[in-house]
Amino acid sequence: MISQVAEGLRDVGMHRVWNDRAMSAITDYFTARTDEHATSALEGLVDLEPAVIEANDASRPRVQLAAGGTPVLQAKGVDPVVALGRLEAALTARPYNEVAKGPRCGKLVAMSDDGDTLVLTVTDELRDALAELNAEGVAAAAAAWAIDETSEPSEDSVPFLTAFAELATRAVAQSGRMYGYVVI
């Protein structure tokens, strides 16, 4: 069934499917060794226990460990196809169209039976570029990539990219890959 749905998503274009539903989507990013392991995200791999968080840190993006030890970054709607494709283009100096055509750019790995939850790939090129960033590199990347629609880096760009780079560094250190967990 997943392969049939994946073909259908390709036929209509993942960008369109994502954009049609983006306003109500919740996105988390996590690491896993393989695509097969990432599919277990549908069965609770990325479930986070409620954390005790200082009031000043409540809205700051951060990598947390799920109950099973999986590193997870709650991203609150950062589009795993277009936004991350634009980020990869900015970090690698490759054209967005080339990035978007890559075999792991938002590739569907798993989908819940009701179609409301997806696991999508994040490219290894983006993972590697993020893992190489230092604090200055994060600031430069935030300036080159806008999360919001004003074409200016939003105030959330640097904290999100800092946490996303941390997740990428963990993935590289563990010989893992990165994935998006999307609830529509």
Q: Report whether pLDDT(9) > 70.
A: no
Q: Report whether pLDDT(147) > 60.
A: no
Q: What share of the chain is helix, strand, coil (3-state, %, to 5)?
A: 45, 15, 35
Q: Report whether pLDDT(120) > 90.
A: yes
Average pLDDT, the chain: 80
Q: Give the single-character DSSP code of 52.
A: -
Contact 141, 100 (CB under 8 A): no
Top-confidence residue, 26 or 95: 95
pTM attached to this predicted model: 0.80
Q: For the chain, how many residues are written? A: 184
Tokens linked to 123: 């490219």
Which of 79-88, 118-127, 139-148 bottoms out in mean pLDDT, i.e. has the lowest? 139-148
Mean pLDDT of 153-171: 88
Select from 1, 36, 54 the least CA-distant residue to 119: 36
**Residue numbers of the domain that contains 170:** 2-183
Q: At what angle do helices 14-21 and 2-12 cross, to 10 degrees?
A: 90
Mean pLDDT of 73-80: 85
Mean pLDDT of 147-158: 62
CA 167 – CA 4 distance, rounded (Å): 31
Binned at pLDDT 50, 70 and 90, residue 154 comes out as low
CA 19 – CA 63 distance, rounded (Å): 26
Mean pLDDT of 19-40: 80
Q: What is the pLDDT of residue 45?
A: 65
Q: Report whether pLDDT(19) > 80.
A: no
Provide the number of structural domains found in the chain. Answer: 1
